[in-house]
Amino acid sequence: MSADRAVLRNALDRGEREGGSVEFKERLTRSVHLADGRLESLAAQLRHRVLSGGGEATYVLGVTDDGGIAGVEPTVFSESMDVLSLLAEEAGAHIDDVETWGVDGGGLVGVATIREGAMLDVDDDHIVVGTAGHVDHGKSTLVGSIVTGSADDGQGGTRGYLDVQPHEVERGLSADLSYGVYGFSDDEPIRMENPNRKSDRAGVVAEADRLVSFVDTVGHEPWLRTTIRGLVGQKLDYGLLVVAADDGPTRTTREHLGILLATELPTIVAITKVDAVSDERVADVEREVERLLRNAGRTPLSIARHGIETAIEEIDEQVVPLVSTSAVTMEGLDVLDSLFERLPKTSTEAGSFSMYIDRTYNVTGVGAVASGTIRSGFVEAGDELLVGPLADGEFREVEVRSIEMHYHRVDEAAAGRIVGIALKGIAEADLERGMVLLPRGSEPEPVREFEAEVMVLNHPTRIDEGYEPVVHLETVSETASIYPVDGQLLPGDTGRATIRFKFRPYLVEEGQRFVFREGSSKGVGTVLSAD
């Protein structure tokens, strides 16, 4: 066996023995293992294994009773995991981790770690922060220092903590929209030693009473579309805009600020790299940022002058707190901790469950996984949902296999959560960004066009009928044609228009905000009707 199968080799070497914590199963099926009272006896067996292992058991699937590698088809493996999850729940335990390997003939063998206790029950005290800022202004470095509590080496070393490792996606239901998470328990920060370690993220989720997630955006100008998707497509509570003290606001800074403010997101501005310049330069940049905010119709609030209490009380769509920071000296990070610990959640929405899909994965042994931020309501494992619209406008019935948040399996998740949801009943190839998950029984009506009020923020000439920018609405990023009711719109104009998607229908609802952009042209809008 190769080195990457060390976990499997270790489990096989330990073997299945009386009084041990290892159990071998070739397969588990609903028709056989959940029938005629077998659920109770198998759950008792699982409970015995967990107690024998001091709260942890290892189930090896796809092997014979004597430990021989047999392998099972992926669909059989998925059903086995479903049954094992039910057995664990019956035994007062949960599946904490699963690793799978392919065998000759195309089958799978896997090792599931079972831990005592129910799956994590997360409360509603969880805020999501969208970060933005010009490339090299220290956005990722700042967040890396926040979530780890480690000072940067002056070369952006903590930025490396935020890399997403591809193998982590294959080994779990990675909801990696969020590149960083930390939290608080009894007023003390709970941080990660290394965010790239799955166990570190899961540990924060398990220990913290309050969670803070950071959603990645991209600072490079050519990838502004990705940044818009990160800020518009997620259910954010706050924005965090970084401006480097040695560079000051740039065109990209203005672009990102415009998007944050256009979506009416309460925002904090962090002036970074203050250790690299003089106090006079920091003051100059702060004044420049304040002018920028006032020109956008917002009120800047210097935390250094007015205090943290005032910032917490005053921050909203109009008031923007400013804080000076350094990831090298850690200056200002205690201020950000105080804000993130105490700022109220803003994005909670009542109503039935809905989630626009941002990313999709195919996880070996699990199947299709849809990742995104829950927009409203809550979802539980086993829920029956609809997903769509597909290219033909139809929705498909699916079932929630399991839910994971920051690599930690959860029973349910509510609005504002960044999650990966494993779906039964659809292939990953049939899922696309911009689709939405809804409760089965709802009657969604996707549209190719909708009516909106739009405001042109920037355009070299005028917007005439048929103008085709890219529209960013929730996680939808699609070319659309704009037809102004009055025939044209000039820079600075606000007016009604018909928006028509070019290629396929999407689910659009009254009141949704969107951004449109093409080249240097950009604008914002609000859906008025989608009949």
Domains in the chain with CATH codes = 3-116 (3.30.110), 126-342 (3.40.50.300), 354-439 (2.40.30.10), 449-529 (2.40.30.10)
pLDDT at 4: 61
pLDDT at 102: 86
Helices 251-262 & 279-295 angle (0-180, nearest 10): 50
In angstroms, the CA 145 to CA 327 distance is: 6
pTM over 0.95, yes/no: no
pLDDT at 30: 82
Backbone φ and ψ of 520, nearest 5°: -85, -5
pLDDT at 160: 53
Residue 483 one-letter amino acid? Y
pLDDT at 164: 45
pLDDT at 232: 52
**Which residues touch 10 (CB under 8 Å, ≥6 apart)?**
none
Greatest Cα-to-Cα distance within the chain, rounded to the nearest angstrom: 80
Contact at 8 Å (CB) between 400 and 382?
Answer: yes
In angstroms, the CA 89 to CA 250 distance is: 53
Contact at 8 Å (CB) between 478 and 503?
Answer: yes
The distance from CA 32 to its chain's CA centroid, rounded to whole angstroms, is 37
pLDDT at 225: 46
DSSP string, 456-509: EEE-SS-EETTB--EEEETTEEEEEEEEETTSEE-TT-EEEEEEEESS--B---
Walk along the chain (531 residues) and give the pLDDT tens digit of each residue: 444 688 888 889 888 888 899 999 999 988 888 877 788 889 889 999 999 998 899 999 999 988 889 888 887 887 888 788 778 877 878 887 788 888 887 788 989 898 887 554 445 567 888 888 887 888 888 988 999 898 987 766 555 555 444 333 333 343 444 567 889 988 899 998 766 666 677 678 778 888 888 876 543 343 344 445 544 545 678 989 999 999 999 988 887 787 777 777 899 999 999 999 999 999 999 999 999 999 888 999 999 999 999 999 999 989 999 999 999 999 999 999 999 999 988 766 668 999 999 888 887 667 888 988 888 898 998 899 999 999 889 999 999 988 887 666 777 888 878 788 999 999 999 999 999 999 999 999 999 999 999 888 777 788 889 999 989 898 898 999 999 998 888 887 889 999 999 999 999 999 888 888 887 777 888 899 987
Residue 298: CA atoms inside 13 Å, Cβ hemisphere, count?
29
